[in-house]
Amino acid sequence: MNITFDSEKLQEIMTNFYTLTKIRIVMFDDDFNKIMSVPNDDSGFCGELRKNDAFSELCRMCDKNARSVCRKTNAIYTYTCHAGLIESIAPLKMKGIILGYIMLGQVMDKSEKKKKKDSILKYVSNYSELDLNGEYDKLVTKNRKQIEAAVNLMEACACYLWANRLVRVNDDCLAALISTYITKNLTTDLSVDALCTHFRISRNKLYKISRESYGTGIASYIRKQRVNCAAQLLKSGLSVADAAIESGFGDYNYFSEIFKKEMGVLPSKYAR
């Protein structure tokens, strides 16, 4: 699990969502392990059917496919599950990186509940010997606009969780995100203040992550990444001046000094 969370506040937000919508909401980590759900149990209809291993596996595959689509598109995905119920999944993101998921489901389109009843009950009769007519009637129903509103509210909850630091990325994952960001943005402002602002962490937190994950100070780590980039550019035939600019060194003399310190030779000689 790459995230930690404020369980009390998370419970409060998810409970508020359920109180308002009466739609079940679930939060998962990045590996799709359930962190919390409100209500805690499935609906009577789904809960009874999931006692059947084959049906439960179909549910798992349906959820897995939804997660795959959500991860691929990096956006909300709303769909009808194999049992005819409406589900929706939203990514919980930090700087475009998915850290977990929020999912709502076990709800029926109000205009289709009666029309689909016979076919759905016939389908689920393959997985349960019980008469699920009563449990089907108890399923939450919403019209399409209400479902869309709930989905939008769920997405707002995902944004709120991150914005208010109720869900936080763990240090090992954050170190990877920072490293990736540095590598992709060598020509931009990578000062300590800029990084702290971008990742919304303190200077002490950044220093700690750098020492523990990169084995050096953050400034030293950035210089090394820029030198490594410059070395690759020189190997590809770029001039020393252009390699310096493309790797984020604004000053040619400083670039030569740092490059020699890291690589043991001046960039001009390395290029040859």
pLDDT, residue 227, reads 94
Beta bridge partners of 94: 97
Q: Output the pLDDT for position 91.
A: 86
Q: What does the alpha-carbon distance between residue 66 and residue 78 come to, in Å, rounded to a whole number?
A: 8
At residue 59, does pLDDT exceed 60?
A: yes
**213-216, Cβ contacts within 8 angstroms, sequence gap of 24 or more:** 213/171, 213/172, 213/175, 213/179, 214/175, 214/179
d(Cα 88, Cα 77) in Å, to the nearest integer?
6
Q: Which of 4-8, 80-84, 227-231, 238-242 bottoms out in mean pLDDT, i.e. has the lowest? A: 4-8
Cβ–Cβ under 8 Å, residues 182 and 190: yes
Fold entry, domain 171-271: Arc Repressor Mutant, subunit A (1.10.10)
Residues 129-151: what's their mean pLDDT?
A: 93
d(CA 89, CA 209): 32
In this structure, what DSSP letter does residue 100 have? E
First-last CA distance in the chain: 47
Domain boundaries, the chain: 3-169, 171-271
Under a CB-based contact definition with an 8 Å cutoff, are residues 59 and 81 in contact? Answer: yes
Q: Provide the Cα torsion 16, 20, 23, 24; round to 10°.
A: 10
> What's at 105, amino acid-wise?
G
- Per DSSP, helices labelled H in 35-132 are 44-49, 53-73, 113-124
Instruction: Determine the pLDDT at residue 4.
Output: 74
Q: pLDDT, tens digit, for every residue of 152-173?
A: 998 888 878 777 777 776 666 7
Q: What size, in residues, is the chain?
A: 272
Please report the pLDDT score of residue 97 as a whole number. Answer: 62
Q: Do domains 3-169 and 171-271 have the same CATH topology?
A: no
8 Å CB contact between 114 and 84 = no
Q: What is the pLDDT of residues 177-204, one digit of tens each?
A: 888 899 999 999 999 999 999 888 889 9
Contact 96, 75 (CB under 8 A): no
pLDDT for the residue numbered 223? 93
pLDDT at residue number 155? 85
So what's the architecture of 3-169 in CATH? 2-Layer Sandwich (3.30)
Q: Which of 257, 242, 247 is nearest to 188 (CA)?
A: 247
For the stretch 86-98, pLDDT in tens is: 999 998 876 556 7
Task: Give the up-direction half-sphere exposure of residue 38: CA atoms within 13 A in the CB hemisphere.
Answer: 17
Q: Which of the four pLDDT bands, split at 50, 70 and 90, describes residue 5?
A: confident
